[in-house]
Structure 1
Amino acid sequence: MKQPFEWKLFSYDSPSNLKSILLDEGFEEEEEEALLVLDVRNAASLLYMEEQEQLVEVDDEHGVSDIISLMDDIWGEDHSALGKRLWRDKQAHPDHLYLYGIYDGEELISGAWMYLEEGTSFASLWGGATRPSYRGRGLYKDLIAARAKKAAEKGYIFLTVDARPMSRPILEKNGFQCLAYTYAMQSPK
C-alpha cells in the first residue's frame, strides 16, 4: 500500500540539489516558508504588551472547533483532522499545547496555537490566521505576544515558526530572525 507523506526539506539539507532530486521523482513543492526564531529573553516589547480584551486562551472543544472553522474559512480547505489532533493533544498534554483566539462578539476573528516541546528550550508557533476584514489591526501581533508570554512563563527560551510570506514581515518586525527556508515536499500520488 502506498502511503502519502510530506518530506520537510530545509535550505541547508544535503546534497545541495536535494529539492531538484525530489521534484524529478514526482514530489510536489508547496509554498516556501522561512524558519524563524526569537529569543524571548530579548522580546520585552512582546512580553510587556497589554493584552487585548477579546483575546482568550482556548481550552475547550468548542474553542478548538472555532479555530478550525476559522482555518477552513480562510484557507478554503478541510481542517477537521487537525481539529481532532489539537483537541486530543490538549486533553492528553494540557501543559504542552496552548491555543488562543480573538473574538468579535461570538465570532472568532483570529486564532493560533503553540506547542511547548518537552525536554527542550523551544516552543513552536502554529496557525496565526486572521479573517481578511480584520487584518491590519495588530491581532496577529497580539497572538504572538500571548504565546511569547506563555512560553516565558513556562521557562521556554526560544520561539520557532515556519512563516509564510504574509506573516514573515510581522514576525521579523517583532524580533524574529531567519535561520533557513523550509519546503514541504508532498510525495507522489
Structure 2
Amino acid sequence: MHSETVLAAYDQQMRRGARADGPGARVERIGNVVRHFGTERDWNGVLWSDLDADTADAAIAEQVAFFGALGVDDFEWKLYSHDRPADLGRRLGAAGFTPRPQEALMVAEIGELATGVNLPAGIHLRPVATAADVDLVVDVHERVFGADGSRLRHRLLAQLAEAPDTVMAVLAMAADQPVCAARLELHAGADFASLWGGGTLPAWRGKGIYRALIAYRAAIAAERGYQYLQVDASDESRPILGRLGFVRLSTTTPYLYQF
C-alpha cells in the first residue's frame, strides 16, 4: 500500500466527497469546510476542512453559529493530524471545543486480509435484521463503551428500514446472549468500507471474537467490490488491527462543542 496515495483518496472520497450517513441527514460544503448535519439524533459535525492561519478562526466561528442555530446540543469537529493549519487543534480549544480521545486512522487492502471466520466454541454469529436485534447491538454498545446508545439505535433503525444497502450489522452470541456487536458501513461510490463497533464484553475478550468479526465483515466488503477497509482505532484495537494487516495513515481527534 502506498500510504500517501491511499490517504489522499480517503480524504477525497470519505471527507471532501462524503455522503450523508443516514436518511434525513445532509452534507454540504461551505467554502473550505464540509459539514454533516441532521436532527439531534444524527451525527452533527465537520468532516473536512482546508484552512490556514488567516481563515481558520472565522471558519470555526461560522460553524459554531451554524450548529447553534440548528438547535442541537453539541457537534464535533473531526480533526486529523495532517489537517491545516498545524495549530487547528489549539484554535478549536480556544474557541470552546474539548478534545476527546485520539484514535488512529487505519486502512487495509481487503484483498490482503484473511476472511476465514474462526469463532470460539459456543459462539455463533447473528446478522442484525430486526428492531429487537438493534436493541441487542445498543445494549452491547452501552455496556462496553459506557456511552448512551440512542443515536446509534436511531441511525441503525433508519438505515435498516430506508437504506439497507448502506450498513451490515452483526452480533456474536453465546446462546441467546450478545457478547459482541459490530457493523460495516458501505459507502456508495467510494473505494472504502468502514468498520465500527466491535466492542466485546470483558468476560469474552481475548478469545478471537473481535478478529472473527473483522474477517466476517471483510468478506462482505470484498463481495460488494470495495478495495479498502477503514477503521478509527482505539489504543486497545490498534495492535490487533496492525497484526491483521491494517496500516496507520494518520490520527483523528474529535473536538466536541457543547451549547
The TM-score, its normalising length taken from structure 2, stands at: 0.69
Task: Select between 77-86 and 27-36 the one with higher mean Cα deviation.
Answer: 77-86
1:51 Cα offset (Å): 5.7
Q: Secondary structure at the match of 2:105?
A: strand
Q: Does 1:95 pair with 2:173?
A: no
Post-superposition offset of 1:76: 2.3
Moved more, 52-61 or 17-26: 52-61
1:4-15, aligned counterparts within 5 Å? 4-15=74-85
Note the C-alpha offset of 1:77: 2.5
**Two-structure CA RMSD over aligned residues (Å):** 1.5
Written as runs of structure 1 = structure 2, the 5 A alignment for 1:167-178 is 167-178=237-248
- 2:165 partner SS: coil
Matched residue, 1:78 = 148
Aligned with residue 24 of structure 1, among 77, 90, 94: 94
Larger radius of gyration: 2
* 1:179 shift after superposition: 0.5
User: Would you say the 8 A contact 2:107–2:230 is kept in 1?
Assistant: yes
Question: Deviations along 1:6-33, whole A, 9 cap, x unmatched?
Answer: 0000000000011111111111000000
- The runs of 5 or more residues in structure 2 that have no matched partner are 1-66
Q: What pairs with 1:136-147 in structure 2 (closer than 5 Å)? A: 136-147=206-217
Contact 1:38 1:159 in 2 (8 A): yes
Matching residue's letter, 1:68: V
Pairing partner for 1:128 from 178, 194, 198? 198
Structure 1 stretch displaced more, 123-132 or 76-85: 76-85
Task: Compute the displacement of 1:121 (Å).
Answer: 1.3
Aligned equivalents of 2:256, 2:129: Cα separation in 1 = 32
d(CA) in 1 for partners of 2:258, 2:118: 47
- By how many angstroms is 1:70 displaced? 0.8
In the TM superposition, what is the alpha-carbon distance from 1:61 to its structure 2 partner? 1.3
Q: What is aligned with 1:107? A: 177
Residue 159, structure 1, aligned to residue 229, structure 2: yes
Deviation at 1:48, TM superposition (A): 3.1
1:47 paired with 2:109, answer: no
For structure 1, the residue ranges without an aligned partner over 5 or more in a row are none
Instruction: Please give the secondary structure, in 1, of the residue aligned with 2:194.
Output: strand
The one-letter code of the counterpart of 2:134 is V
Q: Percent identity?
A: 35
Q: Higher RCO, 1 or 2 (CA under 8 Å, sep at least 6)?
A: 1
Q: How many residues align?
A: 187
Secondary structure of 1:54's aligned partner: strand
SS at match of 1:169: helix
Compute the displacement of 1:175 (Å): 0.4
**In the superposition, relative to structure 1, how do residues 109 and 37 fare at CA in structure 2: closer, same or farther (>3 Å)?**
same
Shift of residue 188 of structure 1? 4.3
